[in-house]
Amino acid sequence: MMIGKEIRIERIMDRNTGRSVVVPMDHGFTLGQIDGLLDMTTTISEVSEGGANAIVLHKGIVKRGHRRRGRDIGLVVHLSGSTSLNPDPNDKVLVCTVEEAVALGADAVSIHINLGAPNESRMLESAGKVVKDCNRWGIPLLVMIYPRGKGIDPTSPATVGHCVRVAEELGADLIKTNYTGDPVSFKKIVTSCSVPVFIAGGEKAGDLETLKIIRDSVKAGGAGVCVGRNAFQRENTSAFVRALCRVVHEEMDPEQALMEMG
């Protein structure tokens, strides 16, 4: 018999591949009214139609999504927040609780931790409390964790590996972090971790470049991608998400996936 976390993880991970394409759309909290997230209802529909497995939203935006029409999509409610107006935007605080997310119908929750940031200790302390609540409610936890601080290389295998280990030791069910830049170093990180590891989509890049990075990470054993601006700021969001899904779930060649975007 399956327990709550297992049942909910099935809603955000593909049963056949064990991978997922997750589209975070929490950027408005940090950056304001940015392109791609002005009409949330339409964007969520486009991402869903493209075949994404799940989306990440802040609690107040959940009502602008859809679960009554169109293709259903997994819902991850983000618990952390900060704004670009803060002198230290890496200082993430909790702005939602696990219990609130359960009431909203979330399939999972996510938190953000920046290792190396001045307020790292507070973020780790908050994460510990969230893990306790997730275990109580049977809600999977996606930990978005990055090496960010003065003098820290954000893609160094050592620092990325440290992030993954911290998230695993905290009790994460899923982990999102930076790609190290090459499949060999990334493979060592993911094979040393007992839970699925996703790469972050990062800043908006070219179509082919983005898909090749995702292809390499999946071949190295990654669980897929959490891609935001590289998805919702495309001219044709649905088509690009469809290409993403083919690369992640079918291991399709990036060039071919782009050719078939239409």
Q: Where in the sequence numbering do the catalytic residues fall?
A: 26, 146, 176
Whether 90 and 82 have beta carbons less than 8 Å apart is answered as yes
Percentages (nearest 5) of helix, strand, coil residues in the chain: 45, 15, 40
Nearby residues of 233 by Cβ (< 8 Å), 6 or more positions away? 35, 36, 204
How wide is the angle at C-alpha 25 spanned by C-alphas 38 and 120, nearest 5°?
A: 130
> What is d(CA 259, CA 262) in angstroms, rounded to the nearest whole number?
8
Q: How far is CA 197 from each of CA 50, 54, 201, 262, rounded to the nearest angstrom?
A: 22, 15, 13, 30
| H-helix or E-strand spanning residue 175 | strand 174-177
Q: Residue 86 is which amino acid? A: N
Q: What are phi and psi of 142, to 5 degrees?
A: -95, 115
Nearby residues of 66 by Cβ (< 8 Å), 6 or more positions away? 41, 44, 45, 48
